[in-house]
Amino acid sequence: MASDAVSGPGRQLTALARAVAGVGIGFRVVVFHRPGRPPSAFARYLDEAGVEHVVVEDRGPLDWRLASRVRRVLERWQPSIVQTHGYKATAVAYLLRRLYAPVPWIGFFHGSTTEDLKARFYHWLDRQLLGGAERIVVMSPAQARDFRRYGRRVHIIYNAALEPARAGAPSERDHVAALATRLRRPIIGVVGRLSPEKGVDLFLDACAGLARNGLVFSALVVGDGPERGRLEARCRQLALEPCVQFLGQISDVDVVYRHLDLLVLPSRSEGLPNTLLEAMCADVPVVATAVGAVPDVVGTSSAARVVTPGSAAALGEAMARAVMLGDSAADAAARQEVVRRFSIQRRVDAHLQLYRDVLDERCHRAS
């Protein structure tokens, strides 16, 4: 996995590694890291979680020797299966299959970002190269349709509902808690990467509509990304600075959820957003757009208010209703039912069956 930050897929992978260890499966993680950058926060997270891993030097997009460095690690570990997360890991696995003795490969597709031409190209390449894997795992039926040309090799495995991360320095937690005590209620939040597909611009437009209609509220935008500067400028343009604050990247998102009255997921596209499941674990009411697996998670329940994507008006109307009508015992019960259905054990069972299928298929071909 190529990740310096502790991302949603990284947290899911770590939880899976710890869980399958309980049934006797060894799970080791290769983390790509650019020299000269600060130490990998994801590697530290794996270390704290007790997950065996190795950091492999990644010298950039044209580092053709990365595959040989990973090959040496795999020769030492002798894995039964390799699974990849992200376009760089996909490219390395694809090269290893073409140049060396192949190891059964399961490729995971978590979704794509659209912030620039380079990102779009990398995600396009990821989708093409994943066709070389024995199995392709996606996060939603919509993503499965995008990979339908690969037929029965495509599987949907939903993310698990994980407790929000409790990490970072105590000073960060204290800062967020102190800020929340000064803000006017209700506090509405967005948590995630600030990139175009996350729809935070729609959230700001919806907030402007609430303010024009005289609703008193505060809003927190938690996360960082390529769109931050543009979004902050949009916030100023909409005269939202008195009620909207950008907090940047927060390691201890648990403290954020503890102070939110409503979480909003305004995404234009998603797989299965970890933020949705985290909010439900933290028992925070949710307004979300009907993208990716969100409709599958919520169904017809009141676990979240689900609206048409791409519409600031629809988003703002749902936010206003959620704030004015408040939460109910039935809503809370629906959220806990989602948490129960999307347990880590369910994810583990799906992975174990997938591993068995891949290895049985390999043995059948060998015989």
- Confirm if 318 and 202 have CB atoms less than 8 A apart: no
Calpha distance 90→86 (Å, rounded): 6
pLDDT tens-digit readout, 199-212: 999 999 999 999 99
Three-class SS string for 117-141? HHHHHHHHHHHHHHHHCCEEEECCH
Fold of 8-160+344-366: Rossmann fold (3.40.50)
Asked if 322 and 305 touch (Cβ cutoff 8 Å), the reply is: yes
- 170-341: CATH number: 3.40.50.2000
- pLDDT tens per residue across span 258-303: 999 999 999 999 989 999 999 999 999 999 999 999 999 999 999 9
DSSP single-letter state for residue 295 = H
Give the tens place of pLDDT for each residue, 161-215: 998 877 767 888 889 999 999 999 999 999 999 999 999 999 999 999 999 999 9
pLDDT score at 115: 66
Which of the two residues, 32 and 112, has the higher pLDDT score?
Answer: 32
Cβ atoms of 347 and 157 closer than 8 Å:
yes
Give the mean pLDDT of 95-115: 84
Domain boundaries, given as residue ranges, for the chain: 8-160+344-366, 170-341
Among residues 294, 281, 291, 272, which one has the least CA distance to residue 343?
281
What φ, ψ does residue 297 adopt, rounded to 5°? -70, -45
pLDDT value for 101: 67
Average pLDDT over residues 19-31: 92
Distance CA 164, CA 12 (A): 11
What the block records as the tokens of 306 is 């689900």
Paired residues of 124 in beta bridges? none
In the block, residue with structure tokens 């004015």: 324
Q: What is the dihedral of CA 5, 6, 10, 16, to 10 degrees?
A: 150
Domains 8-160+344-366 and 170-341 share a fold: yes
Average pLDDT over residues 32-56: 90
Amino acid at 107: G
Q: pTM here?
A: 0.87
